Structure 1
Amino acid sequence: MNNLQKAGGVAAVLQAAIYISAFVFFGAFWNFPADADTIQKFAFLAENQGVLSIVTFTIYVLFGILLAVLVLALHERLKANTPILSQMATIFGVVWVGLVIASGMVSNIGLAVALELSVQQPEQAMTLWRTINAVVEGLGGGNEIVGGLWVLLLSIAALYGKALPKTLNYLGLFVGMVGILTIYPADIFTEIFGISQIVWFSWLGVVLLTSRKS
């Protein structure tokens, strides 16, 4: 039990680090030429395909694997006192794991296919790339409803079961509600969800690493 809690704590801390690295990469280093023509855009993507593929793998696939560990650890921690709420939260947690990993796989494979097509048919390739981006955004890159429901439900369960610090649970309620609000197409909700989750994951990781739960 304690080993699983430690593993969950490490996973949570690493997830916070992935969030931070994603903000830094896309905010400071990724300079996609949005105003360029189609050929120039694909030339940029081809030149940076390796880096972008690694970043995409990290923020989606690796994040999803770590999330699976955290979902299991939190379920084990909460199920004794709040079994029904814990099960409901875990369902959404598992679904979120699948959506996040699928987003990364679709994005990386889609980029490779679009780049290959762009050599002969750049306009069709751009249409394909935009379609792929829409699919990735729909699966989880642009809305966080499933993740928000997971955080919300497990925070409610932790409040009732007194399994985590009360203030952390209140933060989780906020994070969960903001995640659900990302159903509205406004970037501000997605950004708030991401920033608040950095704090939540970091805090949760410290709690799991330093507390004992038998």
Structure 2
Amino acid sequence: MKELRKVGGAAGLIAAGTYIFGFALLLGVLEPAGYQLDGQDMVAHAKFLTENQLVMYIWNLVIWILNAIVLVILALALHDQVKQNAPAFSQVATSFALIWAGLILASGMVSNIALGTTASLFGTDPESAGTFLRAMSAVESGLGGGNELAGGLWVLILSWGALRASALSKPLNFIGIIIGLAGLSTLFPMLAPVTGAVFGLGFILWFAWAGIHLLRSA
């Protein structure tokens, strides 16, 4: 149990780090270089991805693949700590955490395949590369970027159950509830730009705090 909490605590800190790395690379390197977050001009977007494959592969590896791996470890460690006081809440929450990790992992794999195929197509047919990229972007967004239902349900149910059972810490649980509600709100397109930012930035704090809490409890 203590060993799982130690590993889970480290996973929480790494999860926070993946978010920080992703935001820093996006805002500090990719966007200044011409990366289009909205992807309106898909041919230009395909050109950018083709010219910056290595950086994009690293970005995908960290924000999708690594994040999904440590998310599973963190979820299981939190489940181990909360299950005695709130077994039903913990089981349901952990189920959504594993679903979310699977979606994140799938998004990363789709993104990597799309990146390589886009680069291959762009050399001979830029228009086809743009069309292909638009389709793959929709798939990737539907899996892990368009809304935050699974992640929102995980942290909301876990935090609510832990709050009722006096597990974890109250401030951490309150933050988790706020993040969970923000994640569910991304289902509404008019709210998604704001609540999505609250969800992403809030999780940096929540991941780090949960990780520290697990390390201290171990």
Query: For 1:108 and 1:177, how far apart are their aligned partners in 2?
Result: 30
The 10-residue stretch of structure 1 (155-164 or 190-199) with the greater mean CA deviation from structure 2: 155-164
Gapped regions of structure 2 (runs ≥ 5): none
Query: Runs (4+) of structure 1 moved beyond 3 Å?
Result: 33-43
Deviations along 1:138-164, one digit per CA (max 9) or x if unpaired, are: 111231111000000100121122220
User: Structure 2: which amino acid aligns with 1:191?
Assistant: A
Quick check: 1:47 aligned with 2:85? Answer: no
> How far is 1:33 from its partner?
5.4
Match of 2:144 in 1: 140
Quick check: 1:11 aligned with 2:14? Answer: no
Match of 1:102 in 2: 106
Give the one of 177, 184, 202 matched to 1:180: 184
> How far is 1:42 from its partner?
3.4
User: Structure 2: which amino acid aligns with 1:24?
Assistant: A
3-state DSSP class of the match of 1:162?
coil
CA 1:211–1:36: 2 relative to 1, 3 Å: closer
User: Structure 2: which amino acid aligns with 1:56?
Assistant: N
Match of 1:155 in 2: 159
CA RMSD for the aligned pairs? Answer: 1.7
Match of 1:122 in 2: 126
Q: Where does 1:20-59 land on structure 2 (aligned, <5 Å)?
A: 20-30=20-30, 31-32=33-34, 34=36, 40-59=44-63
The 10-residue stretch of structure 1 (101-110 or 152-161) with the greater mean CA deviation from structure 2: 152-161
- Normalising by structure 2, we get a TM-score of 0.92
User: Structure 2: which amino acid aligns with 1:152?
Assistant: L
Give the one of 90, 94, 110 matched to 2:94: 90
- Normalising by structure 1, we get a TM-score of 0.93
Question: Are the aligned partners of 1:38 and 1:122 in contact in 2 as well (CA < 8 Å)?
Answer: no
Match of 1:201 in 2: 207
CA 1:82–1:143: 2 relative to 1, 3 Å: same
User: Structure 2: which amino acid aligns with 1:167?
Assistant: P
Quick check: 1:171 aligned with 2:175? Answer: yes
Paired residue total: 212
3-state DSSP class of the match of 1:73?
helix
User: Structure 1: which amino acid aligns with 2:200?
Assistant: G
Question: Are the aligned partners of 1:168 and 1:200 in contact in 2 as well (CA < 8 Å)?
Answer: yes
> How far is 1:72 from its partner?
0.8
Query: For 2:57 and 2:201, how far apart are their aligned partners in 1?
Result: 23
CA 1:38–1:77: 2 relative to 1, 3 Å: closer
3-state DSSP class of the match of 2:182?
helix
> How far is 1:165 from its partner?
0.7
Question: Are the aligned partners of 2:43 and 2:129 in contact in 1 as well (CA < 8 Å)?
Answer: no
User: Structure 2: which amino acid aligns with 1:14?
Assistant: I
